[in-house]
Amino acid sequence: MAWYFFVHSLKMLIRNLPTAVRILLPLICVDTLGLLIFGANYLALFDLDFQGHELLELRLFVEVLWLGAASWVGISWCRFVYLQELPSVFPQFHGRLILSYFTKSVLIIIMSFVAALPVIVLTMLLSLYTEVAEEIMLFLILVPVFWVSYRLSVIYVSVALEEQTTFRSAWRKTRAISSAILGGTGVLSCLYVVEDMLFENLFVVSGLPGAAIDTLLNWVLSMIGLSLMATIYGATLDKDG
């Protein structure tokens, strides 16, 4: 079932690729502006080990702007999938829903990292005493973080569809398919690791072209993640029905 989740999500994206590109436009605009202003240093603003303390306010502004654009995209994709709401040039702007999606995103990100903290700590300790590849460490951290966030992802779709769903209810609804979600997020984690490996270890592309390619890949992975989220929501409807 895990592989079905992933394949279904991929097919959904490919089948609706022109619409997906239009829905992705807010994020494309933010990232393109960031690349034009900051050049190759743009992606460094999102690194956890970013050292530019004097640019802390700027980094926070960029991250909030990016998450706001991502929330716009998330709302629009869910409404397209379940309400057939088509974008024009840009997707429709639902300010109230986007704000709710944004705040839920912040909470779920925090909850996911807190819930996965034991695994993160164990992984860090493992790296201190053994020779563990960075890619393996990244995978071990991403899987639990993604698993928790996708267990709660029903909330995102509920916000987009103007439904009321609590965190407890979202966790309960995905309990029966938790192993399938684990498999699906495992595949997604692998893709993120491969993307990181390709452009940091194998194809060392420096400067703005490398940052642009990395950004393009992140757009693709973001849309796959949103499609997986919509698929999980559909599966919970089947379970409830």
Name the residue among 61, 44, 45, 26 with its Cα closest to residue 206: 44
What is the model's pLDDT at position 122?
86
Residues 6+ apart with CB under 8 A from 178: 147, 151
CA distance 216 to 240: 37
CA distance 65 to 99: 12
Q: Comparing 51-55, 68-72, 194-198, which segment has the lowest mean pLDDT?
A: 51-55
Does residue 222 surpass a pLDDT of 70?
yes
Reported confidence tier of residue 214, pLDDT bands at 50, 70, 90? confident
Reported confidence tier of residue 223, pLDDT bands at 50, 70, 90? very high
E strands, the chain, are none
The structural domains of the chain, with segments of one domain joined by +, span 2-240
Say what the pTM is. Answer: 0.88
pLDDT, tens digit (0-9, with 9 covering 90-100), for 184-211? 999 999 999 888 877 665 455 566 777 7
Contact 221, 73 (CB under 8 A): no
pLDDT, tens digit (0-9, with 9 covering 90-100), for 102-140? 999 999 999 999 988 888 888 888 777 777 677 788 898
